[in-house]
Structures are given as structure tokens and as C-alpha cells.
């Protein structure tokens, strides 16, 4: 009698995938802000992906060469009469990111625009003070 069993690894993998229950674990950490920083001759151009956040809930601060961006997502649950929410997979919370640029930024000339989930910052470089030679008396 032949006791050999033929096993197809791909079939076993797919069978295991479809048989196992899908688990929805609780999210314990906020998604990181995706940041692109580009340097031009006179300024830094920064793009930050912040989908699903109102522009009023985004805060940008500049301290010399350090840029800090934070965003808070708040979502009101609206349950209609006769309706019961069984599961809501939305993120609520605050994310923030800080980074240092190679050169200080001129805060007074900086601009920010938020459109379609992308924050665009244009941060002009601060003109470096020229070294001054002192005369000795």
C-alpha cells in the first residue's frame, strides 16, 4: 500500500489564507507623516501627506532650522436611529513630526497650503549674516 501524500505548497498556502479568520487587531500607534523635503537655491519645498485632516487641525511651527508639524484627527460618530455601529475602522488621534533643515528658515516669508490631503510648505532660507571684521583701536 502506498502511503505517500502529494502536497502542493501553493494550494496549502491559499487554503490556509482563506480558512483562517481575519483578525482586526487594535491599532496602537498613529500612522507616521510622510514627508518629502526638496532644497532649492533660495528655499526648501516640503510636501507632507496628511489625508483626512481638516486644515484647521494642522499646526506648523518653525524655530530657526527646526520645523515641527502636528495634526489632529477628530471624527464625530453619527449613528442614525435604528442603526447600530458594529465596527468602525477609523483613526482618531494626533500625529507629529519634527526635523532639522541644513539652514535656518525665514519664518516671515514662509507659506503653507493644504489641498487634497497634502500640505505644501515653502520655507525661504534665511540670508546668513556676513562676517564683519572689527578694527582694533
Question: What is the pLDDT, as a whole number, of residue 8?
Answer: 63
In a domain, 64, yes or no: yes
CA dihedral 48, 50, 54, 60 (to 10 degrees): -40
In a domain, 24, yes or no: no
In a domain, 16, yes or no: no
Q: What are phi and psi of 48, to 5 degrees?
A: -125, 125
CATH of residue 63: 2.60.40.790
* Cell output for 11: 494550494
In a domain, 5, yes or no: no
Cell 532660507 belongs to residue: 125
Domain count, the chain: 1
* Cell output for 43: 528655499
Rounded to whole angstroms, how far apart are CA atoms 137 and 134? Answer: 9
Q: Give the sheet arrangement for strand 111-115, strand by strand.
A: 34-39, 43-49, 118-124, 111-115
- The domain of 100 spans 34-75+90-126
In a domain, 115, yes or no: yes
Q: What are phi and psi of 118, to 5 degrees?
A: -120, 125
pLDDT tens track, the chain, 137 positions:
556 666 666 565 555 555 444 444 554 454 578 999 999 999 999 999 998 888 999 999 999 999 999 998 876 666 666 777 766 666 678 889 999 999 999 999 999 999 999 999 999 998 877 777 888 88
In a domain, 70, yes or no: yes
In a domain, 46, yes or no: yes
> Cα(first)–Cα(last) distance of the chain, in Å?
111
* Cell output for 119: 500640505
In a domain, 54, yes or no: yes
Question: What is the pLDDT, as a whole number, of residue 13?
Answer: 55
Amino acid at each position: 500500500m502506498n502511503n505517500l501524500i502529494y502536497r502542493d505548497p501553493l494550494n496549502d498556502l491559499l487554503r490556509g489564507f482563506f480558512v483562517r479568520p481575519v483578525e482586526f487587531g487594535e491599532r496602537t500607534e498613529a500612522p507616521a507623516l510622510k514627508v518629502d523635503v526638496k532644497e532649492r537655491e533660495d528655499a526648501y519645498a516640503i510636501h507632507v501627506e496628511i489625508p483626512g485632516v481638516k486644515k484647521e487641525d494642522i499646526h506648523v511651527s518653525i524655530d530657526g532650522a527646526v520645523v515641527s508639524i502636528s495634526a489632529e484627527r477628530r471624527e464625530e460618530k453619527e449613528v442614525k436611529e435604528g442603526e447600530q455601529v458594529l465596527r468602525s475602522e477609523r483613526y482618531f488621534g494626533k500625529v507629529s513630526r519634527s526635523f532639522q533643515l541644513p539652514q535656518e528658515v525665514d519664518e516671515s516669508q514662509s507659506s503653507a497650503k493644504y489641498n487634497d490631503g497634502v500640505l505644501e510648505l515653502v520655507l525661504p532660507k534665511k540670508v546668513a549674516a556676513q562676517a564683519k571684521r572689527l578694527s582694533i583701536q
